[in-house]
Amino acid sequence: MHSEIDRISELAEAGERMIERLRKKAFLPEARKGLSVRYGIAEAAALLECSTNRIRMAEEDGRLPPPPPTENGRRPGYTIEELLNMREVLDASPRRAPLDTPAMIAVQNFKGGVGKSTVTTHLAHYFGVQGYRVLVVDCDSQATTTTLFGFNPHFNVTREQTLYPYLSIEPTQQTLDYAVQGTPWPNVDLIPSNLELFDVEYELAAAGSDGGSVLASRFRKLKQGLMELAQDYDIVLLDPPPALGTISLAVMQAANALLVPMAATTPDYCSTVQFLSMMEQVTGQLQEAGIAVEYDFVRLICSKFDANDPSHAMVRQIMEQSFGPALLPVPILESAEISHAALRMMTVYELERPIGTPRTHKRCRANLDEAMGQVEALVRRGWGVAQPASEETVVNAA
């Protein structure tokens, strides 16, 4: 006779099988996620802050290979790889200078459902389009970010591929190099997660009287390991669990910037206030214990904002009054395009063509570019670099 506890196991297994079916359906024919998005010459020029004529001249003089024409003779557009090569040839790479500190941004809120993993993944892909070298570290055992990158945490990721071998009480890895996985994006890498990462929480909780020193050592170890890895990247995005646990605290201490997404509802606002209050207490306790916590910037961003909902507008006004300039001025708008892309385990930046209407897609993409660009501006300001001016702006100014 089956108990209700047995039923939980059956439901979990049925759900995992369905996720695998969805993944295979989304990533046919080889059941692995690919990246097919291409950029026209005008869009490529806008991304590189140059003229289309400069690109054509580089193709004509052989510095750049022209994209092969399709059967109808039209340009198929440039791949991400071709854009990255174009940036190198035309000296349009946004990479940090060797002495600049890599941005290590924790995307955190203890309230679930605020779009934490969606914001993290869209940020990663936005930075990828812009030409930065990005590492995403999924520190959440729920592994939503890992799933959005095309990995099934249950079938494709083992405990040995997560942070576990590095953070466990009896570590088998001394650096984090083992955990870095390539993604369909040539300049975006991932350290994946799965449910077994939660074993770290159990182990440290069971550390007994020596738990305090063990915790402190794990905090320092995660920061050290991430800083070593970060030397090969411009930006590291950390997706911690939505709870105040050992891993969350370690991530908060390892990061040098904090981005807090929150939806425009009263419960989300109240929960975010509680999160900030708890962060203040915890960071104070960590500093008293000799564990430094320093951020280049702390910003909040309103996610899932419906401009046509009066209640959203009211809560956003409350946010502005409460948080002032710490609240980024451009919210992430609620969009069916984001939801439809997520159903395919994708972000809007990975779509070859609109899922809904072209108008909806264009509006969504423009909003995401503007919202994510706010974070990019903060990162570049930390490096002492302003946003590059376009050739058109320079010509008009002259």
> How far is it, in rounded angstroms, from Cα 148 to Cα 150?
5
What the block records as the tokens of 54 is: 């400069």
- What is the pTM for the complete model shown? 0.88
On whether the CB atoms of residues 272 and 300 are closer than 8 A, the answer is yes
On whether the CB atoms of residues 265 and 276 are closer than 8 A, the answer is no
Nearest to 200 by CA among 238, 249, 235, 257: 249
Instruction: Give me the pLDDT at residue 391, please.
Output: 46
Instruction: Give me the pLDDT at residue 2, please.
Output: 60
Which DSSP letter does residue 238 get?
A: E
Strand partners, 106: 238, 258
DSSP 3-state of 103: strand
Q: Which residues contact 187 (CB under 8 A, 6 or more apart)?
A: 80, 84, 128, 131, 132, 133, 134
Instruction: Give me the pLDDT at residue 110, please.
Output: 77
> How far is it, in rounded angstroms, from Cα 349 to Cα 147?
16
Sign of the CA dihedral running 218, 220, 225, 227: positive
Q: Which residues contact 339 (CB under 8 A, 6 or more apart)?
A: none
Give the pLDDT means over successive 10-residue stretches in the chain (398 positions): 63 70 56 76 92 92 82 79 94 94 92 80 97 97 90 88 92 94 95 92 67 70 94 96 83 92 89 86 81 89 91 92 93 92 89 89 95 97 73 42
Domains in the chain, CATH or no CATH each:
41-89 (no CATH), 103-393 (3.40.50.300)
How far does Cα 71 stand from its chain's mean position? 37
- Residue 90 burial (CB count, 10 A): 18
Instruction: Give me the pLDDT at residue 162, please.
Output: 96
